Structure 1
Amino acid sequence: MADAAVARLRLIRTTGVGPVTYRQLLARFGSADAAIDALPMLAARGGGGRSPVVPDERTIAREMAATARAGARYLFLDDADYPVLLAEIENAPPALIVRGDVALANGRPCIALVGARNASAAACRFAREIAHDLVAGGASVVSGLARGIDTAAHHGSVGTPERPGATIGVIAGGIDIAYPPDNADLQDMVATRGLLVAEQPPGIEPRARHFPYRNRIIAGLSLGTVVVEAVQKSGSLITARLAGEMGREVMAVPGSPLDPRAQGGNMLIREGATLVQSAADILEQVRPIDARAVRSPGARFDGPPPEDASDADRRRVVALLGPVPCGVDELIRQSGLSSPIVQIILLELELAGRIERHAGGRVSLG
């Protein structure tokens, strides 16, 4: 199993291999080792000038040692205790690095509480109290360990050493990096009394591009996302949008129209999000959903086609692509090709660095 984990991490850390491509490669080739061997051929078919860069075993061994030193472990997508709701989304992380009690992500309904970093004192108090009430009502509270609403949500749900709560913190950097630094103690409390989740390898400082990836994990873990206070065009609204695209509940707490920090939540309500004012309101929205009915984890790939795509097939798909993201289903419809053929062409193009994948199963030329 150790050798298999090394091979999988090598594939996950390969340039050009994202979550969707990883799942397709495993489905097509059966193992990470076989997929790695096929990468140069696939990238060449996609028109790439050079093969993807695959980290060697020593690099992965150093990463695994750093993970162990941080008191963390890996959760791979097909592991039995990988969060079931997160595994349902198309771009679920192939591997998570976790510290704490993974059962909090599977054994209880998860609710994301997100909001402004510069939140008002009243909103922070409300988030803290509603997080406490959600835990008392049997839920786990998911947030991103940022300042403001996230911090309040974790403080309200983390509990005490004697009576741990049910909080899940998802961070944008490595499992051993505290960001912001003033939340270092809180992050350790979350890992000790709850669950701390990272997608990036240890030692990686969070960058702006990492936060949308973190947000999709927050939304993916949760039956519903609640925005407590947020300005327009904020990361919290990105999380809410992702939750909606995943088919999860989107909720918001109304605020004064005189406060710019309330505009994001009020806008969500105007656009159809559920107005909530208490933990009871939130739990009422998610309780009809039975987490046991969620699809079990599995690759979203139809399997290898009976034969490889032809050059004419590739030209047909590339001609349909442009800088504006387009749904894969639409590509299949307009190309007249089978789903497996289109998927393998997109896989080749991604490995060649010629396309980018977007939320909602969309792709565009890179």
Structure 2
Amino acid sequence: MISIITPIYNGSQYLEDCLASFARQDQEHCELVLVDDGSTDDSLSICERFSRGRDNVVVVHQENAGQFAAREAGIGQSRGEYLMFLDSDDALRPDAVSRVQSCFSAHPDVQCVCFRFSRGRQETYEENDTVGLSLAGGVYEGELIREVRRALCEGDLNNLCNKAFRSDLVKEALSEVSSQTPVRHGEDLYQLIPIARRMNSVELLEETLYFYRDNDSSTSRKVEKRQIEDLYTVFGYLRSVAALWGSEFELYTETGFNKHLYWCLYGTIASRMKKDVRDEIVIAASAAQRAFHDDSHGYTEVLRLLRLDQRLPMLALSKGRYCLCKAELSFEYGSAQLLSRIK
């Protein structure tokens, strides 16, 4: 059986859509654990109403403790051999559970199944509108597991929502991490790191099974100075694990850190925040970039592994050329907006 863990905090706007996507799954092989994390809207009553008459739906209510602790509470109440995570404003493709279950059945040694996810404002699972995998489909084990570890370090496999795990693996891994996570941003990756450290067999499924809703109220869409500090903490933790895999993985981790810094800075342009607030975030990003850099390799090695459009702004940032960095980001944002209108 697959247990689906859904943490909820004031998620009533899209919660019923989320629950409807669970109701479309193969009910014989899954359960849903809903954890209300001290919501002040009617999320709890929606959950309780949905659970009536459903033996495979569990509702947990707790005082507000954050998403990390809510997931941990849900895992503690789960009964399944496997775990999936579903956020309260997202949805699953109707056959998601069946597809994941078939992967684990076909490859009993696999500890984690990764799949694609789509994102937008309207639920879709179209192949041309999906993200989530940077590697080809197949089973990665033995020497091939290094490819999965590299993708994780480079920031390309950092979501929990597009993965299913053996529950014993997750429970063992999370026993080493306090539920009082020191970060508000990057919680998925922070929670994934101790799990990834123990993974030695992963299947990548080239199908879109999850819909991630672009939600303006989501904390993942807000850019603030605290986010830079959290990234530094999360990638510092990741680098300590990457060192166990080999020195090249430490380089990949610095590349991943720079990618995430880029996305944060790009977000300051896209959100059109006040200039003084944006400047404060850019300066904080520059300081974090310098502090995170490992002198055992040159910064040109990090740049070489970045995407071409990320190299110029991050190089400018590393040189303290803040105006040039912001100009490059503004140009890239403007170009992206123009292309979207043309399409």
TM-score, with length taken from structure 1: 0.25
Hey, which of these two has a bigger chunk of helix by percent? 2
Q: Which one has more relative contact order, counting CA pairs under 8 Å at least 6 apart?
A: 1
Structure (1/2) with the larger strand percentage: 2
TM-score when scaled to structure 2? 0.26
